[in-house]
Chains A and B, each alone.
Chain A
Amino acid sequence: MQRFSALTVAREICRFFALLAPLALAGAQALAADAPRLGGELVFAVGETPPSFDGHRETTFAMIHPLAPHYSTLLRFDPHNYPKIVGDLAESWSFSRDGLTATFKIRKGVKFHDGTALTAHDVKATYDKIIFPPEGVASARKASYAMVAKVEAPDDLTVVFRLKNIAASFLANLASPWNFVYSAEKLKKDPRWYEKNVLGSGPFMFVEYAPGSHWIGKKNPQYYMPGRPYLDGYRAVFIRDTAPRVAAVRSGQAAVEFRGFNPAARDDVVKSLGDKAVVQESPWACNLMVAINNEKKPFNDPRVRRALNLAIDRNEASKALSRISVMKYIGGLYRPGSEFATAPAELNKLPGFGKDINAARNEARRLLKEAGVAEGFSFVLKNRNVREPYEVTGVFVVDQWRKIGLNVTHMPQEGGPYFNDFRQGNYDTGIDFTCEFMDEPDLYLLKYLSSDKSPINYSRYKDPMIDEYYDRQSRMLDIKDRLPLLRQIEKRVFVEQNYQFPILWWQRIVPHSHRLKGWKIGPSHYVNQDLRDVWLAQ
């Protein structure tokens, strides 16, 4: 029998642990890499400057990206589980039995950056400004809250919304990233104070804004969430042109550009940064669509409009345009992949979405002939003079319509004349767009309501059936009840009338530095921009 001395045993034990040590170290490093690291300044690029600092009046990402980190909202979308709604300032909420009263409990101990307490009265004042703006105060999303009769704050920690009717989109609208909670005191003194000033309760405090150059925020040490934010601060650098913006991310001077790049820019970044680049991609709640002037001959004839829809090969569009632009997903009126989207098998049955493009184009030619539109009929497609994705899509659409014998001129325009012409009805057809912060039919369908009900419907038609279906579905809380009506609206748009129709939905592509952690891409570039969960790895 072999005997082991104490020394031998000790030696063997040491050798065992020596073998284990590198494994343990690697494991610890891996764990450390996943654990949020405190400190650092995040530098990110933004493609435009904010027109004002007021989230309630603005509609551009150029405001949201630099300013959202300064503010809290009542509710928010769970950044890691979109579209789940969670509380931000609201700790909890409940609805009355009849669904017409929503009561929110506000967190205790939240402070504005100037040290004053944030209470339910500030939330009430904020929503009064959004829903019932005083004279001279602009509120871009007021109409989304038409269901609200009144907002009350019976005590410092309770906000009550009294509704006129049940509305499916009510809670989601309260999670809007634009609904920054403002100080009631500031609003009382000057309801337009927030257009030029910043005072929030968010994870970051305002430091500096150099117009046209950069925006700086620093960590809020009094933020209500312990341990957050992880970053010491952030710097948003305004870079208008795409090429220098891509160059900024490629060189590592900017960690990310949150809105998104096209595929070529993504590839450039990946080529430059190699394994130091991470690419996140997601379907985007934005699309380009064809707007048709329904008041103008021959576009007032549904057969002509249907022909224009049938002529477009969306499958080919997806393949070709997704290589050079963010246009990618084939979908109907609702973002493909969302809970409201029509399943591909059903969508393929709708005009313009079938697989047999030759049959569709033959049908289109037949319809044009039947409607008395001569071969070579000329008209204009107006568009924004933004190369990608607008102009490239316009070129594609013009090519598709030429295949059914139409002679179309593509006319890219500067922003001013473009919006002017659309509003005045001074166009034949045009490329229009929609970009929403959430998958909510109430928002997507605003474009399709009768033009006397919806100022963003440039196609100049009235359809009481669509208006009625819209009102009915917006009052249904159960998605199972809403879906049949949403399908009816889609059928009305694509099968029966073709007033206007989407071409493709976008793909959001965000390549960024591997050091950027804690940020997850979502279908909206407006959401999840408060940076409170973001941290920088070594």
Chain B
Amino acid sequence: MGRYIAKRLLLMIPTLLGVAALVFFMLRVAPGDIVELKYAGSGTFAPKEAIERERAQLGLDKPLAQQFALWIAGVARFDFGRSMWTGRPITEEIKIRLELSLQLAVMATIVAILIAIPCGTVAALKQDTWVDYLVRTFAIGGLAIPSFWLGIIIILGFLILFSWIPPLTFTPFWVDPWTNLSQLIWPALAVGYRYSAMATRMTRSAVLEVLREDYIRTARAKGLWERAVVAKHGLRNALLPIVTVIGLEFAFLIGGLVVTEQVFNLNGIGMLFVESVTRRDYTMTQALVLLVACAFIFMNFLIDLLNAWLDPRIRYQ
């Protein structure tokens, strides 16, 4: 197992290198220039020499290959450089937002699990009854309704009914849990609903498949309570695909909730992503793409380990 883990970690390097090269060159192909954007934003006079000087300061006058080499050398030292837009260290800019995005991802995942597993299981057990149809309708609604739209409805509802909206700025949980939760519970519900929809459908399918297995019939024949049959024998075996879906979706939540963050005015990674792309902030965009790539690779790896733990028959060489 140790060799397997080491091999997976080493394989991350060429994957990330490929992602880095792709994002680096793709960004430079897109038209537009961060310096022009900075100066021309309000239509005010901007001298040409100031623009050229600024470009030189940002290293944009160097050959592309040199820019790439310098950047990769920095990344290897975990130095992602500075934001071309603000001049602040990228790690600092990301750190401020990562806490919120991580907490939102965790909360949305909890909401999804709390909805998906019970609902999916019940739907499987009560297949083709009104309970099943209700759960399936609920799940389809979650897939069809964009989470940002749901977020807008939540905000409007509060505004119109109570003249209230969630707090505008992020307060860490340990500073003021009430303010923290009153800000993040609503986007967590909006995102978690959609997230739970996929997981519910996956749970239902997986449990249905498992309930038809011989060992389930054996368990029932042995006289076990239905609850033990479903929870201990059925659900445990159905968890593999569910864990995979939930895990991959969690990785997406880091940096993927662009519109939801805009709707709720959350200062998260998604918003930072959009801003850095719009501003042609190359260094920031590159760092964020690497972050998301790392999140996906790491979650994949974690899912594989979790699957191995859940199913002892799986052994990685």
Decide yes or no whether B205 CB sits under 8 A from chain A. Answer: no
Within 8 A of A (CB), among B1-31: 30-31
A214–B87 Cα distance when bound, in Å, is: 18
The answer to whether A51 touches B86 (Cβ under 8 A) is yes
The answer to whether B48 touches A212 (Cβ under 8 A) is no
* B33: chain A residues within 8 A (beta carbon): 416, 419-420
The answer to whether B45 touches A140 (Cβ under 8 A) is yes
Chain B contact-residue range equals 35 or more
A237–B279 Cα distance when bound, in Å, is: 20
With A243-B263, A244-B264, A419-B40 as contacts: A214 and B169 at CB distance below 8 Å: yes
With A211-B96, A454-B45 as contacts: A52 and B86 at CB distance below 8 Å: yes
With A59-B41, A140-B46 as contacts: A212 and B267 at CB distance below 8 Å: yes
Within 8 A of B (CB), among A46-66: 49, 51-52, 59-61
Within 8 A of A (CB), among B33-69: 33, 36-48, 50, 53-54, 57
The answer to whether B278 touches A59 (Cβ under 8 A) is no
A455–B48 Cα distance when bound, in Å, is: 7
A455–B36 Cα distance when bound, in Å, is: 11
With A244-B262, A244-B263, A419-B36 as contacts: A455 and B169 at CB distance below 8 Å: no
* B54: chain A residues within 8 A (beta carbon): 138
* B159: chain A residues within 8 A (beta carbon): 247, 250-251, 272
Partner of B53, one of A136, A143, A252, A417: A136
Smallest CB gap from A286: residue in B: B43
The stretch that binds B, out of A166-174, A334-342, A431-439, is A431-439
Interface bits B89-107 vs A (CB < 8 Å: 1, else 0): 0001100110000000000
The answer to whether B278 touches A415 (Cβ under 8 A) is yes
Smallest CB gap from A289: residue in B: B43
Decide yes or no whether A231 CB sits under 8 A from chain B. Answer: no
With A239-B168, A252-B163, A417-B32 as contacts: A59 and B263 at CB distance below 8 Å: no
Smallest CB gap from B155: residue in A: A247
Of B167, B267, B271, most buried by chain A (CB within 10 Å of CB) is: B267
Decide yes or no whether B186 CB sits under 8 A from chain A. Answer: no
The answer to whether B88 touches A211 (Cβ under 8 A) is yes
Within 8 A of B (CB), among A231-290: 237-241, 243-244, 247-248, 250-254, 272
* B280: chain A residues within 8 A (beta carbon): 416
* A237: chain B residues within 8 A (beta carbon): 168-169
The answer to whether A415 touches B96 (Cβ under 8 A) is no
The answer to whether B86 touches A211 (Cβ under 8 A) is yes
Interface bits A316-339 vs B (CB < 8 Å: 1, else 0): 000000000000000000000000
Chain A contact-residue range equals 35 or more
Decide yes or no whether A414 CB sits under 8 A from chain B. Answer: yes
* B48: chain A residues within 8 A (beta carbon): 455
A420–B33 Cα distance when bound, in Å, is: 7
The answer to whether B44 touches A59 (Cβ under 8 A) is yes
Partner of B87, one of A144, A195, A212: A195
The answer to whether B43 touches A456 (Cβ under 8 A) is yes
Decide yes or no whether B301 CB sits under 8 A from chain A. Answer: no
* A419: chain B residues within 8 A (beta carbon): 32-33, 36-37, 40
Decide yes or no whether B298 CB sits under 8 A from chain A. Answer: no
A456–B57 Cα distance when bound, in Å, is: 22
The answer to whether A414 touches B265 (Cβ under 8 A) is no
* A417: chain B residues within 8 A (beta carbon): 30-32
The answer to whether A240 touches B262 (Cβ under 8 A) is yes
Interface bits A208-231 vs B (CB < 8 Å: 1, else 0): 001111100000000000000000
Q: Shortest 8 CB-CB distances between A and B: which pairs?
A: A416-B32, A212-B267, A59-B44, A244-B265, A59-B42, A213-B267, A241-B262, A251-B165
A to B CB contacts below 8 Å, 26 in the list: A49-B86, A60-B41, A210-B170, A210-B267, A213-B96, A240-B271, A244-B155, A244-B165, A244-B263, A247-B159, A251-B164, A253-B168, A254-B168, A414-B278, A416-B32, A416-B33, A416-B278, A420-B31, A420-B32, A420-B36, A432-B43, A435-B42, A435-B44, A446-B45, A455-B45, A455-B47
Which residues of A approach B to under 8 Å, CB–CB?
43, 45, 49, 51-52, 59-61, 135-136, 138-144, 195-196, 210-214, 237-241, 243-244, 247-248, 250-254, 272, 414-421, 423, 432-435, 446, 454-456
List 12 additional contacts besides A419-B37, A446-B45; criterion CB under 8 Å: A51-B86, A140-B39, A140-B44, A195-B87, A211-B96, A214-B168, A248-B265, A272-B159, A415-B278, A416-B33, A419-B32, A455-B48
